[in-house]
Amino acid sequence: MTKQEKFLWLVQTMLLTELAHWSIWGVQDTKIARADTSLTGNWTLITEAVWACERIPAHMDAYEAAREYVHYMLPIYRHEVEAERGPVPAWFARA
């Protein structure tokens, strides 16, 4: 597998795992849950992952890149306050 393929596999697995977790345990805020499991919300996560996989820095492995992507993009982290979440990692930030 290439670094990009590993990255996409890791991100895909985390998205599926989070969705399965939500379906089993539920979410306290159903408004957030509906928004985050919508086709549009997931399409954004998927297309941004494809865009990001092509921009992983040479010094970074797929696992580190996927961890940064998931930590920034997944809904459970996205709803934290910006100070706790931190800025978007520079390597996949859109200009």
- How far is Cα of residue 80 from the mean position of the Cα atoms in its chain? 14
Q: Count other C-beta atoms under 10 Å from residue 13's C-beta.
A: 12
In Å, what is the CA distance from 23 to each residue of 5, 38, 39, 71? 27, 13, 16, 20
- How far is Cα of residue 68 from the mean position of the Cα atoms in its chain? 8
pLDDT averaged over every residue in the chain: 80
Band (pLDDT 50/70/90 cuts) for residue 81 is: very low
> What's the CA gap between 74 and 59, in Å, rounded?
24
Band (pLDDT 50/70/90 cuts) for residue 90 is: very high
> What's the CA gap between 49 and 73, in Å, rounded?
9
pTM for the model: 0.76
At residue 39, the pLDDT reads 66
Band (pLDDT 50/70/90 cuts) for residue 36 is: low
Band (pLDDT 50/70/90 cuts) for residue 60 is: very high
